[in-house]
């Protein structure tokens, strides 16, 4: 019979914890799952009359859950997602929060559309370590975008860290040309649209984006992620997204898990797609 919880539920992400005790001819089972403390008993018990050992066991569950609440990296992602759902954060923030659970120190990542360099910088901070094995490959068809990216890196990281970024003036459809032979790719990021504060007539287009995504699916390592933010408010943006979505829908479910985040009552808001390769 489910009794009144012995402690208030806390919001945390943690591994299941379990305790078993004998109380007044009853079997008491206490465990926490995702931070919620649940107690079951084979007979009705007054929590105030439990033995000291039983109360301590339950206290340990609460303490452990609270520790996990403070240290679990998932909480940052959940907070960002809730802020996105309530209109208080952007799709870019959600993407970056998810990336942190995919990318590791020493990995290689690709920013397929550098733009002003904010994704490049975020990826660099995730892959960079003392070994300097991590690397970010950045592509863009506009020299002004690469200049902006380089300037941001100069302002944000030291010269040694910046050496872990390689920038290429080329279309994202040719990303395979810049990947070193035998190098595993952990994450590939796309921002589809035009360069902010740049020439709005120069945009990504369905034909080359389609080719780029096909290449991305081939070079991405298992356990990696393709992140796509599609800006659909400009002319041609919606058509490009529809082409992207058509390709995504053909990916086999045995090797891909594909998710989409979209604000339904704001048709011009950017769409976030996350493609995880098993």
d(CA 263, CA 270): 8
5 and 37 in contact (C-beta within 8 Å)?
A: yes
Mean pLDDT rounded to a whole number for the chain: 82
Return the CATH architecture of domain 74-277: 3-Layer(aba) Sandwich (3.40)
Total-model pTM: 0.75
Q: pLDDT, tens digit, for every residue of 107-161? A: 999 999 999 999 999 999 999 988 889 999 999 999 999 999 999 999 999 999 9
Ordered strands of the 26-33 beta sheet: 17-23, 26-33, 36-41
Break the chain into its structural domains and give their ranges. 17-71, 74-277
Q: Residue 253: count other Cβ atoms within 10 Å of its Cβ.
A: 8
Q: pLDDT, tens digit, for every residue of 8-28? A: 333 333 334 444 444 444 444
Question: Given pLDDT bands bounded at 50, 70 and 90, which one contains residue 46?
Answer: low
d(CA 41, CA 53): 16
Residues 6+ apart with CB under 8 A from 59: 7
Query: What pLDDT was estimated at residue 258?
Result: 98
Tell me the average pLDDT across 194-220. 95
- Report residue 238: phi and psi, to 5°: -65, -40
Question: Given pLDDT bands bounded at 50, 70 and 90, which one contains residue 75?
Answer: low
Q: Residue 267: count other Cβ atoms within 10 Å of its Cβ.
A: 10
- Report residue 106: phi and psi, to 5°: 90, -5
């Amino acid at each position: 019979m489910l009794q009144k919880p012995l402690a208030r539920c806390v919001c945390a992400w943690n591994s299941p914890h379990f305790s078993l005790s004998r109380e007044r001819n009853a079997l008491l089972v206490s465990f926490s799952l995702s931070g919620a403390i649940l107690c079951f008993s084979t007979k009705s018990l007054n929590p105030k009359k439990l033995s000291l050992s039983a109360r301590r066991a339950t206290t340990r569950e609460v303490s452990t859950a609270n520790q996990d609440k403070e240290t679990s990296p998932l909480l940052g992602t959940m907070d960002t997602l809730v802020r996105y759902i309530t209109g208080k954060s952007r799709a870019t923030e959600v993407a970056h929060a998810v990336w942190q659970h995919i990318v590791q120190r020493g990995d290689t990542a690709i920013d397929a559309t550098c733009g002003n360099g904010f994704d490049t910088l975020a990826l660099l901070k995730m892959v960079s370590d003392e070994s300097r094995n991590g690397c970010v490959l950045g592509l863009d068809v506009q020299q002004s975008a690469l200049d902006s990216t380089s300037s941001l890196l100069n302002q944000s990281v030291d010269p040694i860290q910046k050496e872990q970024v390689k920038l290429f003036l080329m279309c994202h459809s040719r990303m395979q040309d810049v990947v070193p032979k035998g190098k595993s790719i952990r994450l590939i990021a796309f921002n589809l649209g035009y360069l902010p504060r740049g020439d709005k007539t120069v945009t990504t287009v369905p034909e080359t984006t389609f080719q780029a995504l096909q290449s991305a699916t081939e070079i991405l390592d298992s356990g990696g992620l393709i992140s796509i933010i599609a800006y659909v408010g400009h002319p041609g943006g919606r058509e490009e997204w529809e082409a992207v979505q058509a390709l995504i829908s053909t990916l086999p479910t045995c090797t891909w898990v594909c998710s989409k985040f979209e604000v339904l009552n704001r048709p011009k808001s950017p769409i976030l797609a996350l493609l995880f390769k098993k």
